[in-house]
Amino acid sequence: MGQAATTSVGLGMPNLPLAMVPGHVDVQSTEELKANIIRITLERVINGLTAAPAEVASLGAEPGPREIAFTGSFEEVNRLFYENEWGDGLPIVPPTIAKVEEFIRYAGRVPDEVLGIAPPDNRKATVWSVAVNGVMAGCRPEYMPVLLAAVEAMLDPRYGVEHSGNTPGAETLLIVNGPIIKELGFNYEQGALRDGFIANTSIGRFWRLYLRNVAGFLPHKTDKGTFGNTWRVVLAENEDTLARIGWEPLSAGMGFKRGDNVVTISRYTGGDVIASVHGNSADELLPYLADAITKQVGWQLVFTVGMATGSQQPLLVLSPILAETMARSGYSKRDVQEYLFKHARIPARKFEQYIGKYTHFIPDNRTLVDLANIGKAPRIFAESDDPDRMVPIVGAPGDFLIAVSGDPLRTNAYVFVHNGILGYTTAKSIRLPADWPNLLAAARLA
């Protein structure tokens, strides 16, 4: 109810009548659900449709972008931000006019440019608000082109930012490709995905602050993550390794060329390390990786077949030495994807349990063959009606995303499990201002 009340404000209907269905439908019998709806919900629906909605007090005018809203000490500013839910619980850097304008210098764009509309609050996302939240997150001014590209990806309808508060508590991972990695000092070796490096850490934090302060995702209101994760540290690929072994960067799969500066975003429900991958050839390494990937996937199969067929895209992050070993065996990245598609499989019976019995996303206990026959599943899922046949966990080989990063001398990998269309993989070019070399040189002297 709190989520509905908060979201209705963003939709421009702050007095929208609401009707509650008590409890959770998944743990009620049909009889209990029917009784609750008739006893409680029905009357509220009728009242909402027939009675005039209550008058709503004015929400008040918000301060302008350059208006000084508060002055005080560092501690006082942080207390204000915390009490108004403008922060993430950690100290923020107070966004003074001078600091924000310094960020704008590195944008190459006018401060009031509107990048798009961010639901659920449906606020305008502007260059200025990107700079404000960049300051708060502890970013450096020269990160602005990356921040802008990330927000442009956030606002792309393909990504689906409106799902950022859904109950599995998935979090977005930002992946960076291109010369910008070295120019801004991103870590892409030992400790990848670990905090401790300003670019990786602060830009990851910025993402969550922007979701909170502009899109409007707040815990106990519009952010309904049951458990939740925190923001993820940015992943930068090791493009030196990729060039040496002849593999394309992850961004190439998004339609970009090697050497393009790109931010790719995707939302993951979780993941796990695949430790001590052993072998001196691709044929020895890949069985363990395929097995580990299948063990991470469960209800997310509804994004392979069912809720949004063909939208699950797990991410496999390989340490450089693993990628080098596969390349030495003659494997391209596409070959690895083909292998995983053929071998990262589970019995059809288990697949059907996840999408039709355990989670009931598919009605009437339809089988994969049934779904393929009515055009709701690829034919590969209906090669026979043997319930023990092995079926893939994604819709096509290219749905396995592969990145190369991490300690060059460790044989570990990491797999992220994808949240499908509820944060679909989306990439945007990082647009650098015309005087970028001079701005970057000035930033290094600062």
Q: Which residues contact 407 (CB under 8 A, 6 or more apart)?
A: 189, 190, 191, 192, 319
Residue 7: predicted pLDDT: 82
Q: Tell me whether strands 262-274 and 413-418 are parallel, antiparallel or unpaired.
A: antiparallel
Is residue 320 a contact partner of residue 241, using CB atoms and an 8 Å limit?
yes
Residue 63: predicted pLDDT: 83
Q: Determine the average pLDDT of the residues in 222-232.
A: 91
| Mean pLDDT over each residue of the chain, to the nearest integer | 95
Instruction: Please say if the pLDDT value at position 102 is more than 90.
Output: yes
Residue 61: predicted pLDDT: 80
Q: How confident is the model at residue 9 (pLDDT cuts 50, 70, 90)?
A: confident
Instruction: Please say if the pLDDT value at position 252 is more than 70.
Output: yes
Q: How confident is the model at residue 415 (pLDDT cuts 50, 70, 90)?
A: very high
Say which DSSP state 231 is in: P
Give me 381's structure tokens. Answer: 């899922």
Is residue 428 a contact partner of residue 153, using CB atoms and an 8 Å limit?
yes
Amino acid at 345: R
Residue 59: predicted pLDDT: 66
Residue 373: predicted pLDDT: 94
Q: Which residues contact 357 (CB under 8 A, 6 or more apart)?
A: 365
Q: What is the pLDDT of residues 57-68, one digit of tens each?
A: 776 788 888 899
Q: Which residues contact 225 (CB under 8 A, 6 or more apart)?
A: 165, 166, 167, 168, 169, 170, 219
Indicate the pTM of the whole model: 0.94
Q: Which residue is it, tokens 């709503």?
A: 56
Instruction: Please say if the pLDDT value at position 100 is more than 70.
Output: yes
Q: Number of helices (H) and strands (E), helices first, in the chain?
A: 16, 11
Residue 227: predicted pLDDT: 92
φ, ψ for residue 357 (rounded to 5)? Answer: -115, -55
Residue 431: predicted pLDDT: 98
Which residues lie across from 140 on neighbouring strands? none
Poorest-pLDDT segment among 8-22, 35-49, 212-226: 8-22
Residue 40: predicted pLDDT: 92
Q: Determine the average pLDDT of the residues in 281-295.
A: 98
Q: What is the pLDDT of residues 141-193, one digit of tens each?
A: 999 999 999 999 999 999 999 999 999 999 999 999 999 999 999 999 999 99
Instruction: Please say if the pLDDT value at position 282 is more than 80.
Output: yes
Residue 413: predicted pLDDT: 98
Q: Determine the average pLDDT of the residues in 262-266.
A: 98
Q: Determine the average pLDDT of the residues in 378-394.
A: 97
Q: Determine the average pLDDT of the residues in 91-109.
A: 97
Over its C-alpha atoms, the chain yields an Rg (Å, rounded) of: 24
Q: What is the pLDDT of residues 322-377, one digit of tens each?
A: 999 999 999 999 999 999 999 999 999 999 999 998 987 887 778 999 999 999 99
Q: Determine the average pLDDT of the residues in 419-444.
A: 96
DSSP E strands: which ranges in 140-198? 171-177
DSSP E strands: which ranges in 197-334? 235-236, 262-274, 315-318
Q: How confident is the model at residue 265 (pLDDT cuts 50, 70, 90)?
A: very high
Instruction: Please say if the pLDDT value at position 381 is more than 70.
Output: yes
Sign of the four-CA dihedral 127, 131, 136, 140: positive
Residue 233: predicted pLDDT: 98
Instruction: Please say if the pLDDT value at position 421 is more than 70.
Output: yes
| C-alpha 278: how far from chain center | 31
